[in-house]
Amino acid sequence: MNMNQIHSVYFLGIGGIGMSALARYFVFLGKNVGGYDKTPSPLTLELEGVGMQVHYEDDISKIDAKFLDKDSCLVVYTPAVPKDHTELNYFFDNEFTVKKRSEVLGLVTNETFCFAVAGTHGKTTTSSILAHILKEAQLPMTAFLGGISEDFNSNFYYQGSEYSVVEADEFDRSFLRLSPNIACITSMDADHLDIYGTGEELHKSFREFAGKIKEGGKLFVRNGLPIKGITYGIDDDSDYCIKNLEIINSVYVFDIKTPTITYKSVKFSKPGRHNLLNALVACAMALESNPNPEKIFDALKSFKGVQRRFSYRIKNEDFVFIDDYAHHPTEINAVYDAVAEMHPNKKVLAIFQPHLFSRTKDFADDFASSLEKFENVLLLDIYPAREKPMEGITSEWLLGKINNPNKKLIQKSDLIQEIKNQAPEVLVVMGAGDIGLEVVKIEKALKNEN
């Protein structure tokens, strides 16, 4: 792919979080950028605001002429776009250069010193922490993130092209297109079984990813995972290990033991042991490439977070409102543990929107076990995303598995009134679907009441 010959880039699924980061990159390079998405969203409106042409009908006549020159236009698509999509098939049939997002990301980062963050959970937070560290360390770095960093107010950041930070996404085996210099694997819980079929097939793909690391590169692995690498953990025998952990004024304070030295009194303010592990491996990856630990730990202390990753929307003495992207039982467990650690003995209300019929079906019992830990549970309808309904797989079916008398199926339109009726001390909203759009409405309603 000769970037000098490409003048326009057209994205099918431009509103996806990973796609939009790439779209911003090509705008930065001075290319004409536009695309299609199924529905408008705050993200697509942002893209339109910086000059991208976006439309929401699968209609070739809606495509601007500058994207119809096959010699100068690159077409990028996401696997979430259906195979019978009219525009996608038009580009294939007319012999345009058509590539998956993962292919393009691999080509863009291959010539850089690439940091890749893999894992079924923790990718976005870890890569955002690492990007913030490298920014503060003033490395010439480009970051492609799977969420909106509160430090960059974007899912894309450019400070130079020598280094890159990317999320190595296991969905559709996308991460096998990458060739990182330094990588980590945060977790390998069964997920995307619509793609892999079994957990073992997923593990096999992670092992294949580990084999993609460039010669002389390094792989960091959370202690206990079945892959060889430099290990990291908390209070165990890991190569990089958190020791002497305390919580002081809602901030974690701890030491980091490395194979050669121990760093004292490191500070990090994002709640949850899972976030501590994300911070630890981001530091470890940075320490292996940048010899200035002072800048690394200053950056860790100043890290603001990622939108919808244990984000405090309201936080005062009487009431706390937390928003999180959790959409897998392991992630819900991590949120529960963080809430219990940071806000003990409080009346908690958890709202969850299941994401995908297939995931709900595959992990129904695990979802039930995770959700029933919360004192009170509200369950929304399943968000279908790319899927069609499956017979018998509904939120009502899932609700029946939750062993907790304080549970209820609810519609989005009734959420605010139900929250007010229950009057929780801690409100937690979780899910990867369009529940994020409801969070703003809930926050506004509750702030007006207070």
Which residues does the annotation place in the binding site? 119-125
Strand partners, 241: 233, 257
Residues 136 and 296: their CA atoms lie apart, in Å, by 8
Non-local (6+) Cβ contacts of 363 within 8 A are 190, 328, 329
What is the DSSP secondary structure assignment for residue 327, as one 8-state letter? -
Distance of CA 205 to the CA centre of its chain: 19
3-state SS class at 182: strand
Q: What is the number of other CB atoms lying within 10 angstroms of the CB of residue 219?
A: 20
Structure tokens at 70: 């096959």
Give one word for 260, left, alpha or beta, with left for phi > 0 and alpha for psi -120 to 50. Answer: alpha
Q: Output the six-digit token pair for 160.
A: 């130079």
User: Counting beta carbons within 10 angstroms of the beta carbon of residue 310, is it exposed (0 to 12), middle (13 to 18) or buried (19 or more)?
Assistant: buried
**CA gap 326, 291 in Å, rounded:** 34
Mark the binding-site residues for ATP, compressed into ranges.
119-125
Query: Quick count: other Cβ atoms within 10 Å of Cβ 96?
Result: 18
Backbone angles phi, psi at 203, to 5 degrees: -60, -40
What residues have CB less than 8 Å from 236, skipping those under 6 apart?
A: 223
Could you please report the per-residue DSSP string of 225-271? SSS-SEEEEESSS-SEEEEEEEEETTEEEEEEE-SS-EEEEEEE-S-
